[in-house]
Amino acid sequence: MTNFQGILDTIYETAKATKNKGEVANYIPELAKIKEDHFGMYLNKLQGEDYFVGEWDIPFSIQSISKVFSLALAFSMLGTKNILTRVDVEPSGNPFNHLSLLEQEEGIPRNPLVNSGAIVIADILVSELKNPKEDFLQFVRDLAHDQSIQFNEKVAASEAKTGYNNFAAANLLKSFNNLNNDVEAILDFYFHQCSIEMNCKQLSDAFFPFANQGSCLKGNPHLNKNQVKRINAIMLTCGFYDEAGEFAFEVGLPGKSGVGGGIVALLPGEFTLTCWSPGLNDKGNSKLGMLALESFTTQTQLSIF
Amino acid sequence: MTNFQGILDTIYETAKATKNKGEVANYIPELAKIKEDHFGMYLNKLQGEDYFVGEWDIPFSIQSISKVFSLALAFSMLGTKNILTRVDVEPSGNPFNHLSLLEQEEGIPRNPLVNSGAIVIADILVSELKNPKEDFLQFVRDLAHDQSIQFNEKVAASEAKTGYNNFAAANLLKSFNNLNNDVEAILDFYFHQCSIEMNCKQLSDAFFPFANQGSCLKGNPHLNKNQVKRINAIMLTCGFYDEAGEFAFEVGLPGKSGVGGGIVALLPGEFTLTCWSPGLNDKGNSKLGMLALESFTTQTQLSIF
Amino acid sequence: MTNFQGILDTIYETAKATKNKGEVANYIPELAKIKEDHFGMYLNKLQGEDYFVGEWDIPFSIQSISKVFSLALAFSMLGTKNILTRVDVEPSGNPFNHLSLLEQEEGIPRNPLVNSGAIVIADILVSELKNPKEDFLQFVRDLAHDQSIQFNEKVAASEAKTGYNNFAAANLLKSFNNLNNDVEAILDFYFHQCSIEMNCKQLSDAFFPFANQGSCLKGNPHLNKNQVKRINAIMLTCGFYDEAGEFAFEVGLPGKSGVGGGIVALLPGEFTLTCWSPGLNDKGNSKLGMLALESFTTQTQLSIF
Amino acid sequence: MTNFQGILDTIYETAKATKNKGEVANYIPELAKIKEDHFGMYLNKLQGEDYFVGEWDIPFSIQSISKVFSLALAFSMLGTKNILTRVDVEPSGNPFNHLSLLEQEEGIPRNPLVNSGAIVIADILVSELKNPKEDFLQFVRDLAHDQSIQFNEKVAASEAKTGYNNFAAANLLKSFNNLNNDVEAILDFYFHQCSIEMNCKQLSDAFFPFANQGSCLKGNPHLNKNQVKRINAIMLTCGFYDEAGEFAFEVGLPGKSGVGGGIVALLPGEFTLTCWSPGLNDKGNSKLGMLALESFTTQTQLSIF
């Protein structure tokens, strides 16, 4: 029988003892204030107990992890077909030139988990939702069964002020007629979705439907099997910027990272697992988080492959 | 209980009734001679009977599917770490400019399943094997438990004569010092590996180890679990040229296609499945083969996600 | 002795008789209202009479031609060295991906005559000028010795409303810290500079200093020889989008085009020459204007080469 | 009256005193044997005396300078129109990815002075000339009025052995059907043309026709005015790799450099000027040569602009 708690404890000790913990993202001034020595993990098993270690209960900025939630909400409202006319599902593959690819493919983002793709999804939600920001936040709260989850207005404002690259992407999309709403309104929504704060437990709970054929902890259906399969496929091929292949190769689970240092991964039918460590590697993923997940799947021999 | 034979039969009928079967690859003159109306499938279940339909027993040119065999042999001889210094494991992501990416990343191919990456693997095997072509062919025969498998010398010669793009890639790799042997010797090996002819049954048998933790039909270990996991991960993220994301999204299985019209896919612990239909879609994958696999996983609800 | 008037008359007749006059730019709604059958030319010889034909006295939107004036003003205020740290002087060379190159070169535009480069120059002028828009307009009026030259506020407003691509470029520059002022303020200046309306005579007069070692029609020095040489060099290598090489090859004069259909060219020591015809070729340059200048230099055998 | 000898002498003294003379090209083993402290210049005035300084009479490998001769021969045999279907005349603009651009533009090189373009010109000459290598050498000898000019067979062989990047380019061109002869035959010609050895005087003599409307030193016509204009235009926009804009900007003359450390430039109607200094800057042009020509045009105030 696998000793999950023992494995988490070992990973935690190794992480704590690691000297080079990576560098905290500094392009969003509010995020740069976080110390890099936080570390927490939370394992939510579909059957059986949960396991956790370290600072699993401290909320952090989920940032790009929110893209999975917005994609799920868009899929659940419109189905998958209607969305694929405006965003592709291919890995981005190009480490340096993300606007370049968008330009080359005439305004169709490579996938919904790169910034430009998530901005298109944000545009869809701004059109479809009555009160976009409130309704989206409520969706995340419902997935996690936790009504205390909040936006961090300071982080959203900080990114609105300095997020020139996202303004560039949104304007480029607009120039290709792939946005229906105003750039300002879309990015206001987008910066808010990224600013949501959750802890490791809340994230593992909110990702439960992706491991459980669409139904959350309480058994409520949020997505159908078909949508879950597709979201997991996108996470696997596109969830880690230019390190998606590496993560699939070393870890072998669908997952999503954020520059706040969070990583959520899952094994369908088995578990969801969140790790948080704010220091990033040079690809923009949590340095210790990547190592922790690699260690977890190596020790447990659990992966989709 | 899933009616596998019924599902294969239905797919076969639909395929036969489809008018636009795609276009047979014509850049290799020898391959252009094949008619596009062949169609066969072969399902090899780890436990239980095999199922098959149509022309599952006609050999065809496996072409790029051979890259999985060469990667497997390289991993089994050298381990994964030694290979990753010379080839990356990220999806290529760029539909148009494959030499461009190679140039940009200074001679390190994006992954071992694009041509440039497979040429680096070929270089490794030319260095490591005593009789490279013979030893490689024997490896494939052993995986499939079929000593009748052969190179097609005409196809190999045809590609050697017209494969300018591969000569370009190999010379570019050489200019970045990422090939140790002569371009001619490496490409002779590479064109031979691509020219191997197998039928659907032989391919499903040869891929058995990738679904069975490294052990073949007869129970002989060829790869360890760790290597199998990594090969499957690479197939999932990189196995279908610029349609890898689409295949993961619609089908949800690790697999590999070739311009001969073959596709092999697998579900770890469950089955290997080969489809052959020589007409290609505009991304270079078997048109009906892609639809067949999508239909199979939709009807059976079987996928890694 | 060259019969300049005869040459202009012949070019005019040929242009009038040409059926396919190209297409008027439609991405700026205000400009799309112009009819494509205007045609005028104005030759200002340093020594001797002027020659003109057709609608040389109808004002049109100078658009990108204004980039030469803003570059000249920046050079005259700061010298050439201080500007080259923020913008390069190499041809852009890439027909499709202009933001791509900007991204690849980390926010340093290829040259001051591509949009991103002109936006950097606009930023410099917004910083350096007391009343940026007024002072710039005055500079152009002084070059041309014509105080009636005006902005077209409707065109400026039209571009501010729909110029998403320029907003994308400016935000990308800002993300690389290559803009000091607010994007809005810079683009307000930039859209105004582009909206200036001038006729062929006014443009030929305003370009007089570039053919006359820096001194205008009345003999006032505006630039030194060194600056003029460099501006002419940039026009020759970068003045015609992705058709700069073609223009150098076929025409052999420094010059600059705009999407309003204007082209100004010059031969140092000899003349300035403006042509206006609003229909554009597929590279975005005046279709008949390119042919007119080619015909003029072929007939007169006058070029810098 | 300009003191040409004094200017050359000053430039020579400055060059000799410069510590960092750049690095000799080492990718062709035979060329790497040259010492970097050679320096010579030779000015051939159309009217009046010649001026020279330093090691103007030591032959060196002309390398890419030969591309101007091959282009001139192709133009003189076929006219300009027939060549432009197979090679464009636009600056390459992209510092890093030369094969990338070739791939993107489907096998049409950007211009005849990049390697891929010169290989297409070489293919044309291999088709058109009876004894390609001998006839080409004779053409160069005739331009220079010097029958002693020779190929350096060691240099040609050295490049044939290590010129993988050129083999990559040629095979890529071949894959796009833009070469009619065998890659081996074309590159044999190409490596020979590059291996020609000439001294500064011979080069200034051989370029005389480009400054003299097509007629050589002895008055024999080799090209017509139209062809000369176009060759000069291509030199100006494309003659210095990714430093063409910079050379136009700082020097303001048509010219061509080679990795052997030679640079030839010219002012139509006035002079041809060759400088040789084997150390290269990081763009691959002679470091001291670039500075020498900049100094020469600044002091003499002579340029096409």
Tens digit of pLDDT for each residue in A140-198?
999 999 999 999 999 999 999 999 999 999 999 999 999 999 999 999 999 999 999 99
Q: Out of A53, A61, A64, A277, pick the active-site residue.
A: A64
Per-residue model confidence as pLDDT tens digits over A195-249 = 999 999 999 999 999 999 999 999 999 999 999 999 999 999 999 988 999 999 9
Q: Which fold has domain C4-60+198-300?
A: Beta-lactamase (3.40.710)
Chain A residue with minimum CA distance to B210: A305
Nearest beta carbon to residue B229 from set A225, A234, A305: A305
- Close Cβ partners of B138 (under 8 Å, ≥ 6 residues apart): none
Answer for the pair D40, D200: CB distance below 8 angstroms, yes or no: yes
Residue D27 is given by DSSP the state: S
Token pair listed for D81: 């129109």
Contact A94 B89 (CB under 8 A): no
Query: How would you classify residue A63: left for phi > 0, otherwise alpha for psi between -120 and 50, otherwise beta?
Result: left
Residue of C224, C230, C304 best to disrupt the D interface, most CBs of D under 10 A: C304
pLDDT-derived band at B106, boundaries 50, 70, 90: confident
Cβ atoms of residues D254 and D31 within 8 Å: no
Say if B97 is an interface residue toward chain D (CB within 8 Å). Answer: yes
D92: closest chain C residue by CA? C93
CATH number corresponding to D4-63+197-300: 3.40.710.10
Report the distance separating Cα B157 and Cα B165, nearest Å: 15
| Rounded average pLDDT over C129-143 | 98
State the Cα–Cα distance between residues C245 and C94, nearest whole angstrom. Answer: 12
Q: Does D103 touch chain C (CB under 8 A)?
A: no
CATH superfamily of A4-60+199-300: DD-peptidase/beta-lactamase superfamily (3.40.710.10)
- Please say if B19 is a catalytic residue: no
Q: Inter-chain contact C245–D91, Cβ cutoff 8 Å?
A: yes
Confidence at D42, pLDDT banded by 50, 70, 90: very high
Name the residue ranges covered by the structural domains of chain D.
4-63+197-300, 66-195
Q: Which helix (H) or strand (E) holds D254?
A: none
Q: Is C22 on the interface with D (CB under 8 A)?
A: no
Query: Does B30 score more than 90 pLDDT?
Result: no
Residue A100, pLDDT > 80, answer no
Q: D122-154 pLDDT, tens per residue?
A: 999 999 999 999 999 999 999 999 999 999 999
- In this complex, do C236 and D232 lie within 8 Å of one another by their Cβ atoms? no
Tokens of D44: 């051939």
Alpha-carbon torsion (C217, C221, C224, C225), positive or negative:
positive
In angstroms, how far is CA D179 from the centroid of its own chain? Answer: 22
Give me the residue from C96, C97, C168 closest to A175, CB to CB: C168
Say what the pLDDT of residue D97 is. Answer: 56
**Tokens describing residue D51:** 């001026």
Stretch C277-294: mean pLDDT, rounded?
A: 95
Residue D233 has pLDDT above 80, yes or no: yes
Q: Which residue has the higher pLDDT, C13 or C98?
A: C13
Q: Give pLDDT, residue C95.
A: 53
Band of pLDDT at residue B102, cut at 50, 70 and 90: confident
Residues A100, C97: C-beta atoms closer than 8 Å = yes
| Residue of A228, A235, A231 whose CA lies nearest to A213 | A228
Q: Residue ranges of the alpha helices (H) in C34-114?
A: 66-78, 98-104
pLDDT digits (tens, 9 = 90+) for D90-121: 988 665 557 877 887 889 999 999 999 999 99
Residues of C in contact with D88 (CB under 8 A): 245
User: What is the structure's pLDDT at A181?
Assistant: 98
Q: What is the pLDDT of residue A80?
A: 86
Give the model's confidence band at A30: pLDDT under 50 very low, under 70 low, under 90 confident, else very high. confident
Give the chain A residue nearest B238 (alpha carbons).
A245
| Cα–Cα dist A172/A116, whole Å | 9
Say if the Cβ atoms of B99 and D96 lie within 8 Å: no
CB pair distance less than 8 Å for B104 and D98: no
Residue D258: closest CA among D298, D234, D289? D289
Chain D residue with Cα closest to B177:
D164
* C109: nearest CA partner in chain D: D93
Alpha helices by DSSP H, chain A: 4-17, 66-78, 81-84, 98-104, 115-128, 132-144, 153-162, 164-175, 183-195, 200-206, 208-211, 225-238, 244-250, 287-300
b/e for B244-269, b at 16 or more Cβ within 10 A?
bbbbbbbbbbbbbbbbbbbbbbbbbe
Nearest to C170 by CA among C130, C127, C114: C114
pLDDT at residue number A97: 56
DSSP track, B33-72: GS-TT--EEEEEESSS-EEEEESTTS-EE-GGGHHHHHHH
| Under 8 Å between Cβ of A190 and A181 | no
DSSP state of D259: T
Please classify residue C73 by burial: count the beta carbons closer than 10 Å to its beta carbon, then call 0-12 exposed, 13-18 middle and 19+ buried: buried
Residue C33 catalytic? no
Contact between C269 and C73 (Cβ < 8 Å): no
Cβ of residue B103 closer than 8 Å to a chain D Cβ: yes
Residue/partner pairs of B16-22 with CB below 8 Å, 24 or more apart: B18/B288, B18/B291, B20/B287, B21/B277, B21/B279, B21/B287, B21/B288, B22/B277, B22/B279, B22/B280, B22/B281, B22/B286, B22/B287, B22/B288
Reported pTM = 0.92
Instruction: Determine the average pLDDT of the residues in B133-152.
Output: 98
Beta-ladder partners of C274:
C42, C264
| Whole-number percent of chain C with pLDDT over 90 | 87
Residues 223-252 of D with CB under 8 A from C: 225-226, 228-230, 232-234, 236-238, 242-246, 248-250, 252
In terms of Cα–Cα distance, which of C247, C290, C253 is closest to C271? C253
What is the band of C193 on the pLDDT scale with cuts at 50, 70, 90?
very high
- State the best of C172, C182, C183 to mutate against chain A, taking most chain A CBs within 10 Å: C172
Angle A213-A214-A215 (CA atoms, 0-180°, nearest 5)? 100
CA distance B91 to A24: 27
**B290 three-class SS:** helix
pLDDT for residue D196: 98
Task: Give the per-residue pLDDT at C54.
Answer: 97
Flag whether residue D99 sits within 8 Å of chain C, measured between CB atoms: no
Query: Which CATH number applies to D66-195?
Result: 3.40.710.10
Q: Nearest Cα to A207, choosing from A23, A115, A72?
A: A72
Q: Do A171 and C165 touch (CB under 8 A)?
A: yes
Nearest chain C residue to D101 by CA distance is C94
Selection from A245, A248, A282, A279 nearest residue A262 by Cα: A279
A102 chain-B contacts, CB cut-off 8 A: none
**Residue A84 — left, alpha, or beta (φ > 0 → left; ψ -120 to 50 → alpha)?**
alpha
Report chain B's mean pLDDT, rounded to a whole number: 94
Q: Which of D100, D167, D170 sits opposite B99 (nearest CB)?
A: D100
Query: Does the distance separating the beta carbons of A96 and C99 come in below 8 Å?
Result: no
Determine contact: A180 vs chain C, CB below 8 A.
no
Angle value at C-alpha A263, between A118 and C103, nearest 5 degrees? 45
| pLDDT band at residue C186 using 50, 70 and 90 as cut-offs | very high
Q: Which residue has the tokens 């064109």?
A: B191
CA separation for the pair C217, C47 (Å, rounded): 11
Percent of chain A with pLDDT over 70: 98
The catalytic position among A12, A42, A51, A241 is A241
- What pLDDT is recorded for position B94? 62
The alpha carbon of residue A157 is apart from the nearest alpha carbon of chain B, in Å, by 33
pLDDT, position B104: 78
R_g of chain A computed on alpha carbons: 18
By CB atoms closer than 10 A (0-12, 13-18, 19+), residue A185 is middle
Partners of A265 in the beta sheet?
A255, A273
Q: Is D20 on the interface with C (CB under 8 A)?
A: no
- pLDDT computed for residue D36 by the predictor: 87
By CA distance, what is D95's nearest residue in B? B104
- CATH class label, A64-195: alpha beta
In the numeric block, the tokens 């191997």 are attached to B196
Which residues 257-296 of chain C have a CB within 8 Å of chain D? 268
Q: In this predicted structure, what is the pLDDT of residue C211?
A: 98
Asked whether the predicted pLDDT for residue A1 surpasses 80, the reply is no
What secondary structure letter does DSSP report for D239? Answer: T
CA atoms of A225 and A211, how far apart (whole Å): 10
Distance CA D299, CA C128 (A): 31
Of residues B287, D243, D84, the one with CA closest to residue C233: D243
Concerning whether B67 is annotated as a catalytic residue, the answer is: yes
Kindly list the residues from chain D whose CB atom is less than 8 angstroms away from the CB atom of residue B168. Answer: 99, 167-172, 175
Provide the β-strand partners of residue C114.
Answer: none
User: Is the minimum CB–CB distance between B171 and chain D shorter than 8 Å?
Assistant: yes
More confident residue, D179 or C99: D179
- The C-alpha atoms of residue A197 and residue A161 are separated, in whole angstroms, by 19
C-beta atoms of C98 and A97 within 8 A: no
Q: Which chains touch B (3 or more CB pairs under 8 A)?
A: A, D
Q: D52, D301 in Cβ contact below 8 A?
A: no
The reply to whether domains A4-60+199-300 and A64-195 share a CATH topology is: yes
Find chains touching chain A: ≥3 CB pairs under 8 Å. Answer: B, C
Residue C7 burial (CB count, 10 A)? 19
| CB-defined contacts A:B, below 8 A | 114
Q: Among candidates C9, C8, C10, C39, which has minimal Cα distance to C22?
A: C39
A100–C contact, CB cutoff 8 A = yes
